[in-house]
Chain A
Amino acid sequence: MRFYFDIRDDFYAATDHDGVNLPTVDAARKEGSDIAASIARDLFRSSGSRVVVTVRNDERPLFELTLTLTQADFGSDAP
């Protein structure tokens, strides 16, 4: 099965025209999470906070994976 991985983050969006052959939808979920995690590593270091991967097959969008970085600051009087 051919799967396509579109990405969208704070700075960049791209539609995957090439796709990748993977045996199952679960394998596509793993590939999608690898893509999201590896982009997130770069993105979060350069002050981005969100990456979305939309996974499609030849017919339709299947699911979307979102990785968000949130930061909660403690007050300056915190220990």
Chain B
Amino acid sequence: MTGDQTKDSFVRRLRASADLSAEDEHAIRRLPITLRRPRSGEQFISTGDRPSACCLIVDGFVIRSKVVGDGNRQVLSFHQPGDIPDLQSLFLHVLDHDLSTIGETVLGFIPHSPLRKLIKDRPSIAEILWRDTLIEAAIFREWICNVGQRPAPNRLAHLVLELYTRLKMIGRTDGLSFRFPATQLVLGEAIGVTPVHVNRVVQDLRSQEIIELEKGTVTILNEETLRNLADFDPLYLHLNPSL
């Protein structure tokens, strides 16, 4: 993979939610990047670390998580190709959460200094990244509502639609199916229920022919019922830059 292709998903994602000029795109594509392939499940950045580079997900998935009190892990967000989950390390120097891969993942590390220079030289890119950070905050707000208010099947339904909508934006869906290698343990950590309960929810939604989770692939069987169950309004993803 050449350095240029590694930024395709990033450029594509930024374009989906902001207007990116040809010059800005060119500047992004010129950023130096070092590729790494961590093993599946590897925690590659931990709380307390001081990263000197930001990691762009070139392929695969990353989870952001925190370990609470007696060792239970809360998954805070899922990140997909094109995301830079530790962009904040440019300004908040010590990480306050952990980042781990799920499944086969390719990460591209972009050193802080050229990224900082890019932001200083091109205010339009600074604006786009600021907007991106705001969208990330909107997603966190939605997750608080999801985990705090909805019953477990509705939480999972909402999560599935969020993943589907965001993956569709970067062309990583196949009809109503998408690859997503999270185990039921990880899904439970994201929606705040035990793996045994996730299993019950998954079986329930399967028997009602709403969604199917099998071998790392999620398939939406009945989109309308799923949307009603999830109470899903994609507004918070702010995918349309013209709005």
- Residues of chain A having any CB pair with chain B under 8 Å: 5, 7, 11-12, 14, 16, 18, 20, 31, 34-35, 38-39, 41-42, 45, 53
Contact = CB atoms under 8 A, between A and B. Distances in A.
A51 to B, nearest CB: 10
10 contacts: A5-B196, A12-B204, A14-B200, A35-B197, A38-B193, A39-B197, A39-B200, A41-B152, A45-B151, A53-B196
B41 interface: no
A28 B151 CA distance: 24
Nearest to A16: B196
B85 interface: no
Contacts, number: 36
A58 B152 CA distance: 29
Interface of B: 151-153, 193-197, 199-201, 203-204
Given A7-B196, A14-B196, A39-B196, 18 more contacts: A5-B194, A5-B196, A7-B200, A12-B200, A14-B199, A14-B203, A16-B199, A20-B195, A34-B194, A38-B152, A38-B193, A38-B194, A38-B197, A39-B200, A41-B152, A42-B151, A42-B152, A45-B151
